[in-house]
Amino acid sequence: MFEYFYHQILRKTVIAFGTLFNDISIKHTNSSDAVVSTIKVPLAYGPTQKFLARLEQSPDLNKSTQITLPRMSFEFTGITYDPSRKVTTTQQFTVKDSNSETVTKKSYMPVPIICNLN
């Protein structure tokens, strides 16, 4: 029987991508190139359909808001197998157990994948 184990690699990939673009800010300058204001751009993870549905549900787009900011979002659009990085299926690597310094675990090489984030 096969043993199931999930390393949360897809979740960690989404978190790493979001962290990479999390600190984007826009700086407004005057004519002498002095910074007048800085606006942090919020980043959200979610499908584009979610934001489009929100716009469709609100027919009055001219409604006043407290503050208007630029906004960025990204989503997980696909996962594909990458045969160019494939190694032999019997190749193993060893990892030390985080709970014990003397115990090592063996694991087979993971399947190479390409994650598409937009």
For 96-115, how does the pLDDT look when each residue is reduced to its tens digit (9 = 90+)?
Answer: 777 777 888 787 787 888 88
Kindly give the parts of the chain with pLDDT less than 70.
Answer: 1-5, 48, 51, 55, 58-69
The pLDDT, as a whole number, for residue 51 is 67
**Can you read off the two tokens belonging to residue 116?**
């598409």
d(CA 109, CA 72): 35
The pLDDT, as a whole number, for residue 10 is 82
Backbone angles phi, psi at 21, to 5 degrees: -105, 15
The pLDDT, as a whole number, for residue 115 is 84
The pLDDT, as a whole number, for residue 42 is 84
The pLDDT, as a whole number, for residue 29 is 93
The pLDDT, as a whole number, for residue 84 is 92
CA dihedral 86, 90, 93, 99 (to 10 degrees): 120
The pLDDT, as a whole number, for residue 71 is 77
